[in-house]
Amino acid sequence: MKLHGLMIAAVVLAALSGTLYWSNHHKEADSVASTASSAPPAPKILTLEEDDISGIDLKKNGQQEVALAKNDAGKWRITEPEPLGADQATVSSFVSIVASLSSDRLLADKADDLHQYGLVKPPLEVVVTTKDQKSHRLLVGDETPTGHGAFAMLEGDPRVFIITSYTKSSLDKSPSDLRDKRLMTSDFDKVSQIELSTKKQNLTFGRNRQEWQILKPKPLRADNYQVEDLVRRLREAKMDLSGSKPGADQKKAAAAFASGAALATVKVVDASGVQELQVRKNKDDYYAKSTLVPGVYKVSSELGQGLDKSLDDFRNKKLFDFGFDEPSKLEMHDGSKTYVFAKGGQDWWAGGKRMDSTSVQSLIDKVRELSATKFVDSGFTTAVLDVAVSSNDGKRVEKVEISKAGDRYIAKRENESPLYEIDPAAVSDLQKSAGDVKPAPQAAAKK
């Protein structure tokens, strides 16, 4: 009996011990959580209205001062080390960080010795000037021993803060980081004309609303996608300042441009006037000179390759322009065979019969896909097949005639002189699709 009683007592003691451990453990965790939740948020170092900031100076040991100023129109400019246009989006982001500068944590309410933090002669100073001509000087000192932050303080404020490495790098900007790197600033949404001169040919593109046409060397249909891709590359043409060393890189780029092979000259016309860009290739690198900014700059290979194109690269290879518009009528003559399909409501009709929409759509797709494999100057004889498509509520009617010479098929659009050679397989598919169009199945009779 005594042994049985001792076993019961041991079990009860173990249970009480476990309960006590669990209770103490959770009290400790709750205490830590309570302390963390009650910890004050990291204090702000500087709080200003962005619109009130009129200038910012960046001073770095052993480097030229970088100064930003806002003009009367509210645009930022770089005034030091030399007058330069500023990238408005980049500077606005920079100003936003400065205006509401947060610390990672407060290190000391008052430090007796600022030398230990590198704040007596700080590596970086950010001087913010507001419209009322007041200045706020931020001192950024040495990195913390862990290397994950830096010491900082505001002149006139005895407190010393720690800021994150990200915040420090966001403040440590060079002219290359802040300047406007665009080589062309035309309003590309409203550009009316582009002239592209290369060793191969001189091209002129004109825009009518959102549609591009080739004007020179002669009027031709343009591939809108290809011309818009050219526009995009010009819009994104920027100086490559990676690893830039002022002065030395400029001389190197100028020398490479002077000895390089001329690739292209582009003139862009908008309401504000004409901007010109010259691009040359030196070995595998591309360099550009713009009428917008002085100097010569290395540019991306994407820009250079986008300009190194021929006339045929920009021509529209499609035989029909209706694209993804839904046609209202399709007529095709293939020798002695004639096909006429007209849209009525949601259905296609031919000879008073409702046609199977899937087979008609397959034929429309084949017509839509007709494209040139290459452009030719001769070879069109007597048409053996012609296709006419009405679209845009009947406002646009396109007709294409196709002739055959041996194994070659040559096509041309009505009232246009350019000739298109097309794949014989595409013609065969077109003829087969036309023959496969069938009436729609009749609905089952109701009982």
Token digits of residue 243 = 């690893």
Are 107 and 116 spatial neighbours (Cβ–Cβ below 8 Å)? no
Name the percent of the chain lying above pLDDT 70: 89
Distance CA 32, CA 35 (A): 5
CA angle 166, 172, 178 (to 5 degrees): 110
Summarize pLDDT for 204-257 with one digit per residue, the tens. Answer: 999 988 899 999 999 999 999 999 999 999 999 999 987 655 555 788 999 999
Summarize pLDDT for 4-60 with one digit per residue, the tens. Answer: 554 555 544 555 454 444 444 444 334 433 433 444 577 899 999 999 999 999 999
Token digits of residue 173 = 């900007």
Summarize pLDDT for 331-346 with one digit per residue, the tens. Answer: 999 999 999 999 999 9
Distance CA 167, CA 340 (A): 70
Query: In the chain, where are the structural domains located?
Result: 44-178, 193-314, 329-436
Are 333 and 385 spatial neighbours (Cβ–Cβ below 8 Å)? yes
Are 437 and 339 spatial neighbours (Cβ–Cβ below 8 Å)? yes
pLDDT, mean over the chain: 89
Architecture of domain 44-178: Sandwich (2.60)
